[in-house]
Chain A
Amino acid sequence: TQLLEQSPQFLSIQEGENLTVYCNSSSVFSSLQWYRQEPGEGPVLLVTVVTGGEVKKLKRLTFQFGDARKDSSLHITAAQPGDTGLYLCAGSFTGNNRKLIWGLGTSLAVNP
């Protein structure tokens, strides 16, 4: 059972465009993480959000955790070809022995 739904599954945009990808669940998370994975490599942690309503910025990336801690979004401003990759969200539940539940990811291609 996939507890984390990510959308869209695929996204192809031109350099300079803005985009938002989503991570949704019916469960409440104690924390949620966003990772980026490039071909042939392992995922790399971008951010961890913990508090409902929290917003974190990392240069051109803005991460938001929903008030109810059931959803999150990642917004990229003025996308660049270097942003190309698979964006994964992963959430942990309180009392779930800290195991991370992973979404299937959004595959982003930014064309020059």
Chain B
Amino acid sequence: DSGVTQTPKHLITATGQRVTLRCSPRSGDLSVYWYQQSLDQGLQFLIQYYNGEERAKGNILERFSAQQFPDLHSELNLSSLELGDSALYFCASSVAVGGLTDTQYFGPGTRLTVL
């Protein structure tokens, strides 16, 4: 158990819909990262927040947005869902802003299926 929790574990929805994925980081961790993992693309970094502020942006679509709240939990919002958005979505957390010695701890993921 990494100490990172994600809900829900599974989510099935239809194209065009909007969903929210939730992540609670390990106690004491200030950074939250969101990743998307699919079979053909592998693990893709989406976005990082540090202490409530956006820190780094990766391959995040404009239909997707995220935020980190004062209690440090984070939400990833996916809208106008398409079939290709079906994937595993992971949240990770780390103590600091990231760096050579800043280990990321991953949650168990949310499996999103868009029908």
Point out residues on A near B: beta carbons under 8 Å.
2, 30-31, 40-45, 48, 50, 88, 90, 92, 97-105
Contact = CB atoms under 8 A, between A and B. Distances in A.
Interface of B: 2, 4, 42-45, 48, 55-56, 58, 90, 92, 97-109
B42 A30 contact: no
A101 B58 CA distance: 10
Contacts of B43: 43, 88, 90, 102, 105
B99 A41 contact: no
A48 B42 contact: no
A69 to B, nearest CB: 12
A64 to B, nearest CB: 17
The 5 closest A-B pairs by CB, nearest first: A42-B106, A98-B98, A104-B42, A102-B43, A31-B100
A34 B84 CA distance: 28
Contact of B108 (A40, A45, A50, A103): A40
Contacts of A30: 100
Given A41-B109, A42-B90, A98 B45 contact: no
Nearest to B107: A42
B79 to A, nearest CB: 24
